[in-house]
Structure 1
Amino acid sequence: MALKDEYDSGEAELKLTASQDSPIHCGIDQNHPWEDELPPVDGGRHAWLFLLASAMLEALVWGYAFSFGIFEKFYSTHEPFQGSNNIAAIGTCAMGIAYLVAPLPIIGMILIPRIARWVSTIGVMIMCLSLAMSSFSTSVTHLILSQGIGFGVGGSLAYTPSILFMSEWFVKRKGLAFGVVWSGSGLSGVLFPLIIEWLLNRYGVPTTLRISSVGLFLLSIPFLYFHRPRIPVTHSAVQHRLNFRFLYSKVFIIYQIGNTVQALGFFLPTIYLPTYASKMGVNELLSSLTVILFNITSVFGSIMIGFLSDRYHVTTCLLITTAGSVISVFFIWGFSSSLWSLYLFCIVYGLLAGGYSSTWSSIAHEVQHSNPATDVSVIFPFMETGRGIGNVVSGPLSEVLLKADGLQSHAWGTYGSQYGAIVIWTGITTLIGGIAVVARCLKFV
């Protein structure tokens, strides 16, 4: 009897290990003879082409969305949107909705596997059509609906298949693979602000949005062919994948609290930094350089944290990104009084805070470890939902923070400007984003 119990225990441990370190947890049975006919995982031409396609779609969706700070500055200083309220909500809706609805396409692709191959194509079409429609906007409300919500829905459909397919293409290198994908938005974020700035100043809002619509469509078309699953639909097992009990687990709730609260402040610097830099009296290029520096350093941050998350416990990675980000917000941005100190903040903040989302793959495995019946591909998009909630709320909240002028004329640096409250809020939310580090020290996770 004791021998049988020991065997059952060992078998259970083996199944748990397999569920984390192999494609079995994604509905792929490697014992089938057709498995030998499929492209290899963790490498090979097909895997790298898929990764390139995923990074490109990520670059187009998020690189454009993260460049909204350029639009925010232009909208707030030019007719017909000058002086309008809730301009910041356009950008936070675009980014927030793209995160917020992520579980829906994932669930849809699992329930109806035959549509999975075409979801990203449909998303690109909706995203580009929304930008084209936004070019006819005459009010901020129109922009929120088109450039904000419409772009967000299309963007979510365009990139979320990467989450589902990634578990088929990469197993042992998944953290690094996701880091490479997330870095795509940073690379495009270097070019998009410059291009958007030039187009806005030369052609105005309507033409810029129409050129953006056509440009994003043409850039995405060559890569959509490679954005596909590794496992043929006829061989994909989808039973038992939609298990949502992890949503009530202590481990998931703790990680999700940190993830959501961190998002309440994470996006605010990229929205307001160009405008803040402009008020220092610098030209358009130098003010746009704030977003460019953040985006380019977030490329290295995403890859670095993704690489570390494959080798160390996720709370170690969270400690690195949280501690460094908090210091950069409170001390570098907070006491910034020159353009060069602002640039230094963008570099440090992009390198450390920009890699936060690269921990999601490891977080998903931690949650799965406490809920073995759960599919990692289902956990992952709910992390994005938490980020989306924080993103959407941060837009209207930032408008309120801008009016909180209690520190003005009583503090130095950015603390003494109208952005002082935003600095404090960003620092506090960034600090709470590392709550899982404390929870692990207290043996809660």
Structure 2
Amino acid sequence: MSFRDEYHDESYLIEAKDYAPSTASESSQAHQPSCDEQGTQPASCEDGLPLVDGGVQAWLFLTASTVLEALVWGWAGAFGIFQDYYSVHGRFKGSANIAVIGTCAMGIAYLIAPLAIVFMILVPRLARWVSTIGVVIMCLSLALGSFSQNVTHLVLTQGIFFGFGGCLAYTPSILFMSEWFITKKGLAFGIVWAGSGISGVMFPPVIEWLLDQYGFETTLRISAAVLFLLSAPFLYFHRPRLPVSTDVRHDRLDFRFLYNKVYLIYQLGNTVEALGYFLPTIYLPMYARSLGANEFLSSLTVALVNLASVFGSVLAGFLSDRYHVTTVILISTVGTVLSVFFGWGFAVTVPALYVFCVAYGLLAGGFSATWSGMANEIKKANPNADVTVIFPFMELGRGIGNIASGPLSEALLRADTWRGHAWGAYGSGYGALVVCTGVTAVVGGVSVVARQLRWV
């Protein structure tokens, strides 16, 4: 079978149907898909709607989505800096459950994404303002967190409320993306996910410097102000392409795909891959220090992974628009498995570890950019399903893997008996983590095997 994917043209027609007018009063929009299909490049079509897959307004929307993604996930992903600070400074020194703060922030932002999408579908007139509300909640949570007196206060503010606000800030990107991008949607999502990679490089050193200079109270207040100032100019462009309808599209809330085997297979691979994906970024700095790296060189490992994931996300999204999604997953899976077992497993010098970091970010970092292709395949098997509803459930699976990876990694470290009995990272005390990361990456490619067996 050719790698060139026949689903591409079909998914265009399906999604055009999804967003077709539901009432006669909206019939003026009916010719919009044909205008887009003609490949014309005027400023707008005859009905006044901006073009899909191009044009200034589409790229402004994509820019706004990328910035919000970068601010939410870049800041949440830098919690490790706060964790180190809270553990050894001030009133939180030695407190238990500090790690729960970061787990709540990232986990909730993932887990409630389906609820946020359903809410916006049921209350379409508020959907336009959800990201603005989310940014306000997110920034207020950090400002309130600066007054925390114990870890419980931080869990509620910097953890739960930040995760809730962050979810509202970025999920409109999922809802509106299918209106702005159709044939280039995979690339568009890849660019959006790349935003968190860029901020993942920039935020940690800045936050570390602020904590060292001013303490956590001032750092949280500065963070709240900066996140608001950076996001506010882009909120205007974070909006739908189509006019808001007064009719609620209940037909979009068809959840029968949740027990379809195609969804279950893709979700299995997605969740298990996430279970191991986060382990290297958590423990690479510690492993680098065991090789003799100083604090800066050890933190550079995570920066390299995040930077490489920028290119990995864009590349995976680009390929997802042109080839079957399992082809892209195969490339990601094979490359990730080889880089983990050989790159990390046998890295005994810091430069060799840096090579692994780049390879891992490039190959594993783009896995989430395949969600658009997964959603299209799931919709093909479930014609009544809505890709916009399917998509956040893929995020839900990643969130489950994210949360479970914390206690799993701690258990693996305690159970590792290879220290001093194997070569390279396998005998360093992190061998079980290396193996777990590689094995979960293998299972992440289960959809590739399933396609060969014609299960998907």
> Does structure 1 residue 353 correspond to structure 2 residue 364?
yes
Instruction: Tell me whether 153-162 or 31-40 shows the greater mean CA deviation.
Output: 31-40
> Does structure 1 residue 439 correspond to structure 2 residue 442?
no
Contact 2:136 2:165 in 1 (8 A): yes
- Given the superposition, is the C-alpha separation of residues 204 and 94 from structure 1 closer, same or farther in structure 2, using an over 3 Å criterion? same
Contact 2:291 2:348 in 1 (8 A): no
Contact 1:26 1:375 in 2 (8 A): no
> Does structure 1 residue 110 correspond to structure 2 residue 103?
no
**Partner of 2:394 in structure 1?**
383
> Does structure 1 residue 362 correspond to structure 2 residue 373?
yes
Amino acid at match of 1:172: T
**Partner of 2:230 in structure 1?**
219
Deviation at 1:215, TM superposition (A): 1.0
Deviation at 1:238, TM superposition (A): 1.7
**Partner of 1:7 in structure 2?**
none
Cα separation, 2, equivalents of 1:306 and 1:279? 36
Deviation at 1:90, TM superposition (A): 3.0
Cα separation, 2, equivalents of 1:335 and 1:78? 36
| 1:193 corresponds to which of 195, 204, 221 | 204
Deviation at 1:25, TM superposition (A): 1.1
Counterparts of 1:415-430 in structure 2, within 5 Å, are 415-430=426-441
Q: Could you say what secondary structure the match of 1:160 adopts?
A: helix
Counterparts of 1:199-210 in structure 2, within 5 Å, are 199-210=210-221
- Given the superposition, is the C-alpha separation of residues 79 and 433 from structure 1 closer, same or farther in structure 2, using an over 3 Å criterion? farther
Instruction: Tell me whether 419-428 or 313-322 shows the greater mean CA deviation.
Output: 419-428
Structure scoring higher RCO (CA < 8 A, sep ≥ 6) equals 1
Q: Could you say what secondary structure the match of 2:370 adopts?
A: helix
Counterparts of 1:53-202 in structure 2, within 5 Å, are 53-202=64-213
Q: Could you say what secondary structure the match of 1:231 adopts?
A: coil
Amino acid at match of 2:81: I
Deviation at 1:212, TM superposition (A): 1.3
Deviation at 1:127, TM superposition (A): 1.4
Counterparts of 1:238-249 in structure 2, within 5 Å, are 238-249=249-260
Output one character per residue of 1:221-262: Cα deviation in whole Å (capped at 9) or x when no partner.
000110001111137762411000100101000000111111
Deviation at 1:124, TM superposition (A): 1.0
Tell me which stretches of 4 or more aligned residues in structure 1 moved more than 6 Å.
none
Deviation at 1:49, TM superposition (A): 0.5
Deviation at 1:263, TM superposition (A): 1.0
Amino acid at match of 2:19: C
Instruction: Tell me whether 75-84 or 128-137 shows the greater mean CA deviation.
Output: 75-84
**Partner of 1:374 in structure 2?**
385
Unmatched segments (≥5 aa) in structure 1: 1-13
Amino acid at match of 1:23: A
Instruction: Tell me whether 296-305 or 265-274 shows the greater mean CA deviation.
Output: 265-274
Cα separation, 1, equivalents of 2:101 and 2:226? 20
- Given the superposition, is the C-alpha separation of residues 150 and 334 from structure 1 closer, same or farther in structure 2, using an over 3 Å criterion? farther
- Given the superposition, is the C-alpha separation of residues 327 and 141 from structure 1 closer, same or farther in structure 2, using an over 3 Å criterion? farther
- Given the superposition, is the C-alpha separation of residues 278 and 139 from structure 1 closer, same or farther in structure 2, using an over 3 Å criterion? farther
Amino acid at match of 2:430: Y
Cα separation, 2, equivalents of 1:46 and 1:207? 37
Count of paired positions? 431
Q: Could you say what secondary structure the match of 1:39 adopts?
A: coil
**Partner of 2:307 in structure 1?**
296
Cα separation, 2, equivalents of 1:132 and 1:336? 42
**Partner of 1:408 in structure 2?**
419
Cα separation, 2, equivalents of 1:271 and 1:337? 18
**Partner of 2:27 in structure 1?**
32
Cα separation, 2, equivalents of 1:181 and 1:370? 27
Output one character per residue of 1:173-212: Cα deviation in whole Å (capped at 9) or x when no partner.
1111111111111111121122112222222333222221
Cα separation, 2, equivalents of 1:139 and 1:367? 45
Deviation at 1:428, TM superposition (A): 1.4
> Does structure 1 residue 340 correspond to structure 2 residue 351?
yes
Deviation at 1:78, TM superposition (A): 4.0
- Given the superposition, is the C-alpha separation of residues 406 and 182 from structure 1 closer, same or farther in structure 2, using an over 3 Å criterion? same
- Superposition CA RMSD, Å: 2.3
- Given the superposition, is the C-alpha separation of residues 41 and 130 from structure 1 closer, same or farther in structure 2, using an over 3 Å criterion? same
Cα separation, 2, equivalents of 1:288 and 1:224? 32
| 2:59 corresponds to which of 16, 41, 48 | 48
Deviation at 1:419, TM superposition (A): 2.6
Q: Could you say what secondary structure the match of 2:364 adopts?
A: helix
Unmatched segments (≥5 aa) in structure 2: 1-6, 33-46
> Does structure 1 residue 263 correspond to structure 2 residue 256?
no
- Given the superposition, is the C-alpha separation of residues 270 and 206 from structure 1 closer, same or farther in structure 2, using an over 3 Å criterion? farther
Contact 1:67 1:291 in 2 (8 A): no
- Given the superposition, is the C-alpha separation of residues 269 and 83 from structure 1 closer, same or farther in structure 2, using an over 3 Å criterion? farther
Cα separation, 2, equivalents of 1:334 and 1:77? 31
**Partner of 1:233 in structure 2?**
244
Deviation at 1:28, TM superposition (A): 4.1
Output one character per residue of 1:246-296: Cα deviation in whole Å (capped at 9) or x when no partner.
001010000001111111111122222233334444333222211211111
Cα separation, 1, equivalents of 2:92 and 2:279? 20
- Given the superposition, is the C-alpha separation of residues 172 and 76 from structure 1 closer, same or farther in structure 2, using an over 3 Å criterion? same
